[in-house]
């Protein structure tokens, strides 16, 4: 059950990376941070869906 909490926190971290306020010296990293955040959200959301479907069909 602890791994589900980790997956939820990973999705939350992805959203946090999308909302990062950059200062002048980090302005060039904005596209990279948004890409990493988007990929993290997608990957960990699919992992949550996979575990949910697996638990739904009782193959846990």
With cut-offs at 50, 70 and 90, classify the pLDDT of residue 48. Answer: confident
Cβ pair 40, 21 in contact under 8 A: no
Residue 36 has pLDDT above 80, yes or no: yes
Query: For residue 1, what are its two tokens?
Result: 């059950």
Q: Is the pLDDT of residue 60 over 60?
A: no
* Joined tokens for residue 56: 């739904």
Q: Please give the Cα distance from 55 to 2 (Å, whole number).
A: 15
Calculate mean pLDDT across residues 46-60. Answer: 82
What pLDDT is recorded for position 23?
75
As a whole number, mean pLDDT of residues 13-36 equals 80
User: What mean pLDDT comes out for the span 23-51?
Assistant: 85
Taking all residues of the chain, what is their mean pLDDT, rounded to a whole number?
82
């Amino acid at each position: 059950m602890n791994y589900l909490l980790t997956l939820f926190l990973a999705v939350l971290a992805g959203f946090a990376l999308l909302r990062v306020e950059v200062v002048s010296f980090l302005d060039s990293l904005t596209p990279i941070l948004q890409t990493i955040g988007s990929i993290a959200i997608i990957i960990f959301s699919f992992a949550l869906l996979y575990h949910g479907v697996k638990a739904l069909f009782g193959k846990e």
